Amino acid sequence: DAGVTQSPTHLIKTRGQQVTLRCSPKSGHDTVSWYQQALGQGPQFIFQYYEEEERQRGNFPDRFSGHQYPNYSSELNVNALLLGDSALYLCASSPGQGGNYGYTFGSGTRLTVV
């Protein structure tokens, strides 16, 4: 049973560019959340998608946007990249929004902005 799959695993971008990260949730999970983890820090919540809609958003600027598809997979888009956007981006899925479960995380995409 495949867990949460994220692609790509590593990415290097230049300041000002745009990036798209992808996530396939664990089988049976329909809710996807995205987190940003800077080096030496805990993950910070970006937003959550359920039924193809953004249900909750953390304290991130509008440069961060997302999408969820009918098959529950999701994308995270970041525009106008800044050096400070360099981090590990984690996707987490769960079976049902509002369900009493912990989240399953993917291994993340490491984004480096130069």
Contact flags string 23-62 toward other proteins, x per CB under 8 A: --------x-x-x----xxxxxx--x-------x-x----
Percent of the chain as helix, strand, coil, to the nearest 5: 5, 50, 45
**Among the residue ranges 13-21, 66-74, 77-85, 97-105, the one whose residues contact other proteins (CB under 8 A):** 97-105
Name residues contacting other proteins, limited to 59-88 (CB under 8 A).
none
Question: Strand, helix or coil at 68?
Answer: strand
Report the C-alpha gap between 100 and 43 in whole angstroms: 20
| Residue in 50, 45, 46 with CA at minimum distance from that of residue 31 | 50
Footprint on this chain of other proteins (rule: CB under 8 A)? 4, 31, 33, 35, 40-45, 48, 56, 58, 90, 92, 94, 96-108, 110
